[in-house]
Amino acid sequence: MERRSELTLRGLVLGCAITLVFTAANVYLGLKVGLTFASTIPAAVISMAVLRALRNATIYENNIVQTVASAAGTLSAIIFVLPGLVMIGWWSGFPFGVSFGICAIGGILGVMYSVPLRRALVTTSSLPYPEGVAAAEVLKVGTAAGSTSAGERAGLAALVGGTAASSLFAAVVATRIFAAQIGAFFRAGNAATGLGFSLSLALVGAGQLIGLTVGIAILTGLVIAWGIATPLLTAAHPASGAAADVATAVWSHQVRFIGAGAIGVAALWSLGRIARPVATGIASAMLAARRRRRGEGANLPRTEQDLPIALVGLVSLFCLVPLGVLLWTFLASGPLAALAVPMTSAAIVYVVIAGFFVAAACGYMAGLIGSSNSPVSGLAILSVIGASLIVLAIAKGAGAPMHVQLVAYALVVTAVLLCVATISNDNLQDLKTGQLVDATPWRQQVALIVGVVMGAIVIPPILQLLNHAYGFAGAPHLGSAGTQPLPAPQATLISALAKGVIGGQIDWRLIGIGAVVGALVVAADEALRARRLALPPLAVGLGIYLPASTTAPVVLGAILGWAYNRWAAGRPHPDRAKQLGVLVASGLIVGESIFGVLLAGLIVFSGNPSPLALVGDAFAPAANYVGTAAFVLAIAALFTLARRTLSDTRS
């Protein structure tokens, strides 16, 4: 078998070093403004810059670096749940042992689950994986940067052009001279609705990569959310105030739960559709294991060299032992000690079964629309509802008193599941990148485990530091500088849901309506598939659940990408023209991602959520017009760049 520099010590060390910075920035940013950034592409760029100065750096080694860094950075999504334990008063800080165990156990299970899923959702799937494709293009173009080939020079120009345009536009948005998003809201009688639109070139690039079919499905979800549900609900319960405030509040507190129900049904249906590929993937992995036992491992194709499936099973089972100890210990020292055994047993079964469900669902959604846009919080909502129902049923069955520890335990179980979900959400994107650059899967999977462990080490002390310095809004224990506590919006929502289910205040009607909507979309998709068309149900659910400001530019990008590909099909070199379009779109994702990291660093060090602002709120109306005009001109300029670059490569 070919020997090559791939899983190296220096690559792992560099990935861990990048992790320290990215994870800290992601945790703070998520708690401060409710957003996190994907670290895959920025890590790849930094890796190439550092390793280029060393000898014998390869594209495979760079891929390992970004894999470690992105896996660790992805675990920062634990901030969606863990701060809730402080908010409800169960914790006053973040004990390292428990916090590390939640992150490490859930993360490693996520890696193990993604091994058979790789064969089903990456190797044999047509899912677009926009960020995985973009990261692969970055690695390829970066490796070929010194080439004199006209085609490779053109590809580099397209990628750099898209990167420069996206990062520059994002920088001006950060100054507030360009608006970050625009919107139009209105009333029709008592009904209120409208639409927001983020001026994000990265989202437009992601839309081009996901394609028209997914884009139309997301548009369908937008119509359901903002053209039907929001007007109906606002009309049914009239409220005073600006149309934008009323419509946004109804969407946030009601329509999103309809979207969560639709996502749940669509995810179950999508998992049913991939059941056969998953079974085939497991059978293929077992066949590969038998070939290894016969001494034929060296003859396996590189793409078949996953971690041995027997090892995957053993590691998964082994993770359940410390998970059981962690959960039992959490219960044994409180008022629910008498229920420690049944609750621990039920939680382990729930994590095993629901963990595979959320891993597959998140992996599928990441492949469909990208890791950054995948609604992990939507599955977190479903997960915390499931965990809360389980602990509530056991407590009521035993006649135990309703206690805050029930809520705390539901949050801990949800936190483990969220780690499984987010790691799978990111891993399959990384494994798609690996497939495109001909990486060895098992080496990448080892790097993913290293990244998980590193993230699990880094996150608890960062959370403890931020809790001590700022505290969290609504928590009974605020830090010494708690006059401006961190809002932690997702953790607030998840902990409120756990209390709502256990206290009996949740509105099941909305989730049920969403489930019906999801079933109707599934039926429509099946009818369309008989005519060789499709309406991916999960994408429709995403259109309902995600903010319109996020999904609307994705839809625009999908339509523009379709128009560009139609134009490219009539050119003398259609494949080259389409590839340049992919590179420009990848550059749009790269530029905004890198700038997002830099801006996060500025926010962390300055403590100011808008450190680059040059104008105040009074300029906002002008910023809407200036930003919109610049956005349109930037897109037009990028199409011109692709056409000119293509002309320069013609023989």
| Residue 37: strand, helix, or coil | coil
Could you give the percent of the chain with pLDDT greater than 70? Answer: 83
Residue from 551, 597, 586 nearest 135 by CA: 586
At residue 581, does pLDDT exceed 60? yes
pLDDT at 634: 93
At residue 99, does pLDDT exceed 70? yes
pLDDT at 555: 92
| Residue 188: strand, helix, or coil | strand
| Residue 332: strand, helix, or coil | helix
Residue range 218-244: mean pLDDT, rounded: 92
Give the Cα separation of 452 and 525 in Å (integer).
Answer: 37
Residue from 59, 17, 55 nearest 39 by CA: 17
| Interval 128-161: pLDDT, tens | 787 788 778 778 776 665 554 555 566 667 778 8
pLDDT at 1: 41
pLDDT at 147: 52
Q: How confident is the model at residue 483 (pLDDT cuts 50, 70, 90)?
A: low
157: burial class by Cβ within 10 Å (0-12, 13-18, 19+)? buried
Could you give the percent of the chain with pLDDT greater than 90? Answer: 20
Domain boundaries, the chain: 9-125+274-504, 150-273+510-612
pLDDT at 142: 66
Cβ contact 6:440 at 8 Å: yes
Three-state SS for 249-263 is HHHHHHHHHHHHHHH
Cβ contact 210:554 at 8 Å: yes
pTM score, whole prediction: 0.74
Q: Higher confidence at residue 98 or residue 380?
A: 98
| Interval 46-61: pLDDT, tens | 777 777 777 677 888 8
Mean of all residue pLDDT scores within the chain: 81
Most confident of 226-230, 430-434, 608-612: 226-230
Q: How confident is the model at residue 559 (pLDDT cuts 50, 70, 90)?
A: very high
